[in-house]
Amino acid sequence: MPSLVQQLSADRQLTALRTVVQCKAKSTALREGPAADDGPGTAWVAFLCPAHSEDLPGWPATRTHAAQDTMPCGTVLDFRMAEQVLQSHADLWLTALTGVAPAAYGDVWSDVLDQADRVLRERLEQGADAGEDGPEHSMLTMMWLARRAAAEGNLMQAASALGYCETIADGTGPIDTGIAPQ
């Protein structure tokens, strides 16, 4: 018998593995996202602990199920197309962190990511106490990979690199990096 995740995803290919909450608890609930725009199944599923099962801004659930797996809280399996995953990153943290809105750049992701990188670099240069090994440097490294992938037309790889940035930003903004949202 297929697992609940297989049933909800309609056996769609996983396009992104995301960590949207940094929590050490094991999941007890599986939040089902809306129906996918491009085929059968759900757009995403999120594994959450009791503390986070009802409070995950930006991730509206259609239903919540008892978790049958032992994934860490905050793990999201995303089944959406690359452009949708990139837009989700923008909606949840990238625009809030950098002030860069994809619509302002015609949704041309290489341009969006170039501008977001400029903003992050400027803030890092202005922050005198930012360490060279701090999280902001990791974020810039992953942003560089995302920019390069988007410039080459590989939006799925760009979305994957932004997934690391999202983990650093904790899905809500910077983690004491000295990079303040605009």
- Return the biggest CA–CA distance within the chain: 57
Q: What is the pLDDT of residues 7-26, one digit of tens each?
A: 888 888 899 999 888 888 88
pLDDT at 3: 84
- Answer whether 46's CB lies under 8 Å from 33's CB: yes
Model's pTM, two decimal places?
A: 0.83
Residue that has been written with the tokens 């619509």 in this structure: 103
Instruction: Delimit the domains of the chain by residue range.
Output: 6-78, 82-169
Residue 66 in tokens? 């008892």
Q: Which has the minimum average pLDDT: 61-65, 95-99, 143-147?
A: 61-65
How far lies 170's CA from each of 74, 105, 107, 132, 162, in Å? 10, 25, 24, 20, 12
* DSSP result, 23-65: --SBP-EEEE-PBPTTSSSBSEEEEE-TTTSS--TT---SEEE
